[in-house]
Amino acid sequence: MRFVSTRESSLAVSLSEALTAGLAPDGGLYLPQQWPTALPDLPASAPLPELAAALLAPFFDEDPLAGQLASICTEALALPAPVVPTRDPGLYLLELFHGPTAAFKDFAARFLAACFARLRRPDDAELTILVATSGDTGGAVAAAFHRRPGFRVVVLYPDGKVSPRQAHQLGAFGDNVHTYRVAGTFDDCQAMVKAAFADEALRAAMPLSSANSISLGRLLPQMSYYAAASLRWQIVHGRPANFVIPTGNLGNALACVLARRLGLPIGDVVLATNANRVLPDLLHTGEYRPKPSIATLANAMDVGVPSNLERLRALYPDIADLRAQVSADSVSDDELRAVMQTSEARYGHVVCPHTAAAIRVVERRRDAGCERPWIAVATAHPAKFDSVVEPCVGHPVPVPPALAEILQRPSQAQPMASTADALKAALHALR
């Protein structure tokens, strides 16, 4: 399969080229040039790596990585992704937080790292992966590349704007992972990374790549857990699965839309946002107005300019078509708190603030008379956000073993001013 930019569609590249480049040369995002016309035969009850290899085979067709797809999936995607019932028969949770850093970003970061490791040639210079993170991506990417020969990770996070445990995790890797706490916002961190990529002299001195949520290498593997969940749902319930997905940069939800486009039995896809309501406003008014991000309790979704929207709009340029694909609802901090306070008694699950946004959106639909069951996507483990969750639930939240192991390590992040020059100086100092 070949891939083209959302902007200039004349230049088609291979999957490997699209993975390596991250962004297309014209600044657009890569999408398949042609969509597979039929769904491959999928082993619905096989483990996720096997199902993912079958699902992604058409996208790897004719690429140098094609022969290694099965081993990439085995290495990266052997993580549990169960759909679990709750005490309410109308609400299920798709738990995506059983990986090493306790958030769904592990699936995609590990997949991207497995691809990059196989694309590397022995005499290649060390590759620096630059990541700006609103909290979870940086940890997942650091874990996926930690101690991988030939790679170095540089993580930038907004100081004071991630949860204390996220901050600890981000600084706890060491070795080939370098973590900086930036005196600024997530948008500042993203702008610094962009400026580094635009700096030809820097890139000539130091090969750079990125692992942010616009990478095809993150989008593709995320389709696999929606495929697994929806196929099994169809077998048990005899109808398509409806998902509500906590949304920031729109990477996770877009993967669900793409899985449905491939023919998987997925019904409604609803985006749950926090007070950063650019997407609900777009669907409501038809106008796209990016805004500076607002800090909320669901900090991994504090995004004012959702980067994957460009892909969704390229696929569905007409607003009526877009509305037929997705709907979106914004949830306030007060509502997030209320869900976190009540979810244990009502559903039998303690949830993170992002998952709480999805649950609140389900509750609204049910209050409005909807009787269909919904799957809310649980994007992170509540223990990762203990400082927000524990005051709501009134007791400590047990920490999963992989997260506990990371939290035991010492943690260290260097301070950094929020300027392109500060990042450049730090990168030169690493050489």
Ligand X SMILES: *Cc1c(COP(=O)(O)O)cnc(C)c1O
388 binds ligand X (CB under 6 A): no
Which of 246, 373 has the CB closer to ligand X?
246
> Helix axis angle, 353-367 relative to 333-347, nearest 10°?
80
Q: What's the helix, strand, coil split of the chain in %, to 5?
A: 45, 15, 40
Taking CB under 6 A as the criterion, the residue among 249, 293, 327, 418 binding ligand X is 249
136 binds ligand X (CB under 6 A): yes
CA distance 186 to 159: 9
Q: Least distance (Å) from ligand X to the CB of residue 168?
A: 16
Contact 184, 418 (CB under 8 A): yes
Which of 130, 297 has the CB closer to ligand X?
297
Taking CB under 6 A as the criterion, the residue among 246, 265, 280, 382 binding ligand X is 246
Which of 202, 257 has the CB closer to ligand X?
257
Which of 16, 343 has the CB closer to ligand X?
343
Q: Which stretch binds ligand X (CB under 6 A): 198-206, 251-259, 317-325, 333-341?
A: 251-259
Taking CB under 6 A as the criterion, the residue among 115, 208, 301, 350 binding ligand X is 301
Residue 173 phi/psi, 5-degree rounding, is -85, -50
Q: Which string of DSSP letters, residue by residue, matches 201-251? A: HHHHHS-EEE--TT-HHHHHHHHHHHHHHHHHHHHHHSS-EEEEEE-SSSH
- Interaction pattern, residues 207-226, with ligand X; x per rule: CB under 6 A: ------x-------------
- Region of 263 on the Ramachandran plot (φ > 0 left; ψ -120 to 50 alpha; else beta): left
CA distance 207 to 321: 40
Q: Which residue has the tokens 């077998």?
A: 235
- 107-116 CB burial, b ≥16 within 10 A, e <16: bbbbbbbbbb
Q: Least distance (Å) from ligand X to the CB of residue 424?
A: 27
Reduced 3-state DSSP string for 214-226: CCHHHHHHHHHHH
Which of 242, 274 has the CB closer to ligand X?
274
Which of 153, 336 has the CB closer to ligand X?
336
Pairing of strands 177-183, 151-158: parallel
Q: Least distance (Å) from ligand X to the CB of residue 256?
A: 10
Taking CB under 6 A as the criterion, the residue among 221, 248, 280, 373 binding ligand X is 248
Q: Report how many residues bind ligand X under the rule CB under 6 A.
A: 17
- Interaction pattern, residues 306-345, with ligand X; x per rule: CB under 6 A: ----------------------------------------
| Amino acid, res. 52 | A
Which of 42, 156 has the CB closer to ligand X?
156
Which of 103, 167 has the CB closer to ligand X?
103
CA distance 337 to 206: 45
Taking CB under 6 A as the criterion, the residue among 250, 275, 362, 406 binding ligand X is 250
Which of 354, 365 has the CB closer to ligand X?
354
Q: Least distance (Å) from ligand X to the CB of residue 399?
A: 16
Collapsing DSSP states into helix, strand and coil, what is residue 9?
coil
Which of 306, 373 has the CB closer to ligand X?
306
Among positions 347-366, residues that touch ligand X (CB under 6 A) are 354
Contact 179, 412 (CB under 8 A): yes
Of 67, 37, 32, 33, nearest to 53 (Cα)?
Answer: 67
Q: How many CB atoms lie within 10 A of CB 191?
A: 17
Collapsing DSSP states into helix, strand and coil, what is residue 296?
coil
| Amino acid, res. 9 | S
Taking CB under 6 A as the criterion, the residue among 251, 265, 280, 373 binding ligand X is 251
Taking CB under 6 A as the criterion, the residue among 49, 91, 105, 416 binding ligand X is 105
Pairing of strands 83-85, 91-95: antiparallel
Q: Least distance (Å) from ligand X to the CB of residue 247?
A: 4
DSSP code at position 126:
P
Q: Least distance (Å) from ligand X to the CB of residue 250?
A: 5
Taking CB under 6 A as the criterion, the residue among 380, 397, 403, 420 binding ligand X is 380
DSSP code at position 380:
B
Taking CB under 6 A as the criterion, the residue among 13, 52, 103, 192 binding ligand X is 103
Contact positions toward ligand X, by CB under 6 A?
A: 103, 105, 136, 213, 246-253, 300-301, 354, 379-380
